[in-house]
Structure 1
Amino acid sequence: MAKVQVLGTGCTKCGYLLKNAHEAASERQAGDTVEKIDDIMQVLEFNPAALPALAINGKVVAVGTLPSPTEIIQLIEQSQEMENPA
């Protein structure tokens, strides 16, 4: 289970990223949660280099891009592998 956070101020790209994140979580069927963070003070705590940004389990993994649902699934899996090395 992963916590996926979309960081942005409400622009169109942020909306697309949020949609893709929801699709990825739905496809994975692993109980992932998706959260939109648009409060600028909370966004700045992540220190993203650009917006929109995508964080998984509190770590920024993509900035200024719109990863597809498939790419987000890959990012989630990579993040979990790094957190739980075999």
Structure 2
Amino acid sequence: MEIKSIKILGRDGCRNCSTMFQNTMDILAEKNIACDCQHVTDLQQIMAYGVMSLPGLVINDKVVSYGKILSKADIEKFIEVN
């Protein structure tokens, strides 16, 4: 399946959320994957996904992880299987 969008759901100023976003951007660059990648901090948008624990990882509008700080290797696995 082609990855069209990735969203990291997190809070402004959250170091872990920002790190997860940067790690995701690094992986996309390393693998030459072109997709829309966003760091979503708007609480209403986050709640629309039903996510109550941050950070969250959304691939192609499907929540694949939340409430866990993922390593680069974990993020890469989610990207590969989606």
Structure scoring higher RCO (CA < 8 A, sep ≥ 6) equals 2
Q: CA deviation at 1:33?
A: 2.5
* Counterpart among 73, 76, 83 of residue 79 in structure 2: 76
Partners of 1:24 and 1:70 within 8 A in 2: no
Structure 1 CA distance, aligned partners of 2:55 and 2:22? Answer: 13
TM superposition outliers: structure 1 runs of 4+ over 4 Å: none
Is 1:42 matched with 2:71?
no
Distance 1:15 1:42 in 2: 17
User: Offset at 1:69?
Assistant: 2.4
CA RMSD of aligned residues (A): 1.4
TM value normalised by structure 1? 0.81
Deviation of 1:70 (Å): 2.6
Give structure 2 stretches of 5+ with no counterpart: none
CA–CA distance in 2 between the matches of 1:64 and 1:24? Answer: 20
Task: Kindly provide the CA deviation profile for residues 38-67 of structure 1, in whole angstroms up to 9, marking residues without a partner as x.
Answer: 010011011114111111111111112222
Q: Relative to structure 1, is the Cα distance of residues 69 and 32 closer, same or farther in structure 2, using a 3 angstrom cutoff?
A: farther
Q: Report whether the alignment pairs 1:67 with 2:70.
A: yes
* 1:28/1:73 contact within 8 Å kept: no
Number of the residue aligned with 1:31:
34
Identity rate, percent:
27
Structure 1, unmatched stretches of 5+, are: 80-86
Q: Distance in 1 between matches of 2:35 and 2:75?
A: 12
- Structure with greater helix percent: 1
